[in-house]
Amino acid sequence: MNDPTPGQDRIRDAASGDNPADEAARAGRLNLLTAGLTLLAAGVCLFLAWKAVSSLLVIFAGVLFASFLDACALALAPVLPVNRPWRLTLVVLLLTALLAFALVWGAGKLPEQTRLLLKVMDTQLDVLQAHLLSFGVDLFGPEGGRDFTRWFFSDQGRFFSHAQMVIGTASNFLTDALVILFLGILFAFDPASYRESLVLLIRRPYRARVRDVMNEMGNVLRLWFVGQVIRIVLMTLCVWPILYLIGLPGPFVLGLQAGLSNFIPYLGPIVAAVPIGLVAMPLGLSVMVWAVGIYTAVQSLEGYVIGPLIQRQAVELPPAWTLVAIVLLGALFGVMGIALAMPLVAIGRVAVLRFYVEDCLGDRLGAPVEGMPVKSGGIAWTLWPGRHQR
């Protein structure tokens, strides 16, 4: 008598429909649905990020300021062996006192020097316009683009429109500045918790790698910002006395704008030379040549010798890529994009090298991810700002 079990098994399999072809088709449909939903979610996230890009840049500026505060607290560790929150509090109080002193000191001098410089520059622009008109070149257009009285008061509606625009711009600037300050302070006092809240969104096997790369990004931001502050201070302290000895009016304002121009590499120093040349024009050709020539020499020394020595530990980028990033981010996001182009490119470079070149392509660049503790004053510090342990 034949065994009926095989026939019953075939009938059961046919009834259930669980054959390998159906399972493969079902898995293919599931994978296709997953890929589609993933692409849709990525598209929605990119759209929302594009619409909120100004807010995201403000948040990034807050992170950058937090890295500076942490670097200052870390520098005080060998001198002041107290807990990190106390050192951060001292840094915030010192910066507040320094800002208050600068405002009090500059309230009586900066407005007067700024008005004098604007008056001199306006006069020299008139002279330059007259010279160009002799060659048939109209610099400001047929209606005189610098006639601000006519621009404001030609009709009352235009005046109130421009006044509203100026007030709105000033209020937005102050709001963004306050948000950056408070975000920087909050991020600096507890950066590890904010980092871990992002790491938790990553799958468990990749969390350690993402954490190490974020540590390296934090180190790059910290070194870059500290280096920029040192370069700005050095440039201001060099240009200010030189312009004062030459005899230019408003030497401190000119030196300050020359120092701040280093925040935007390559393009900033070129733009900063224009006010110096305009202010030196009424003092004679020789004075203008001396002023612009000495400024160019100092800027070249800073840009080609001092700057690379300061920034070599932070990030090394080809100049062409830096200029491309400045132009693109400036065209897309305005002044904020120009100011934050360099740090954005710096951390973007770290992400590309670690996640794509090393993890996806399998190339080892020889530079280890800098997430290992570094001893400083009895405390093991990681390269992410604020993460330490006894």
Q: How far does the chain reach from its first CA to its final CA, in angstroms?
A: 80
Mean of pLDDT values over 359-366: 77
Mean of pLDDT values over 331-335: 82
Q: Poorest-confidence range of 148-152, 282-286, 340-344?
A: 148-152
Q: Poorest-confidence range of 108-117, 276-285, 344-353?
A: 108-117
Residue pair 292/280 in contact (Cβ under 8 Å)? The answer is yes
> Which residues are CB-contacts of 262 (< 8 A; sequence separation ≥ 6)?
228, 231, 232, 235, 268, 269, 302, 303, 307
The answer on pLDDT for 29 being more than 80 is: no
pLDDT interval class at 288 (50, 70, 90): confident
Q: Please report the pLDDT score of residue 42 as a whole number.
A: 80
Burial of residue 314 (CB within 10 Å: 0-12, 13-18, 19+) is: buried
The sheet carrying 379-381 orders its strands as 374-376, 379-381, 388-389
Mean of pLDDT values over 1-6: 51
Which amino acid, residue 38?
T
Mean of pLDDT values over 239-250: 86
Taking only the tens place, the pLDDT of each residue in 166-175 is: 566 667 878 8
Taking only the tens place, the pLDDT of each residue in 90-134 is: 999 999 998 888 777 766 666 666 777 777 777 767 777 776 677
Mean of pLDDT values over 144-167: 51
β-pair partners for 374: 381
Count of CB atoms situated within 10 Å of the CB of 330: 17
Q: Poorest-confidence range of 61-70, 120-129, 266-275, 350-359?
A: 120-129
The answer on pLDDT for 205 being more than 70 is: yes
Q: Poorest-confidence range of 72-86, 275-289, 300-314?
A: 300-314
> What backbone torsions phi and psi does residue 182 show, to the nearest 5 degrees?
-70, -40
As a whole number, the mean pLDDT across the chain is 76
pLDDT interval class at 65 (50, 70, 90): very high
pTM for the full predicted model? 0.69
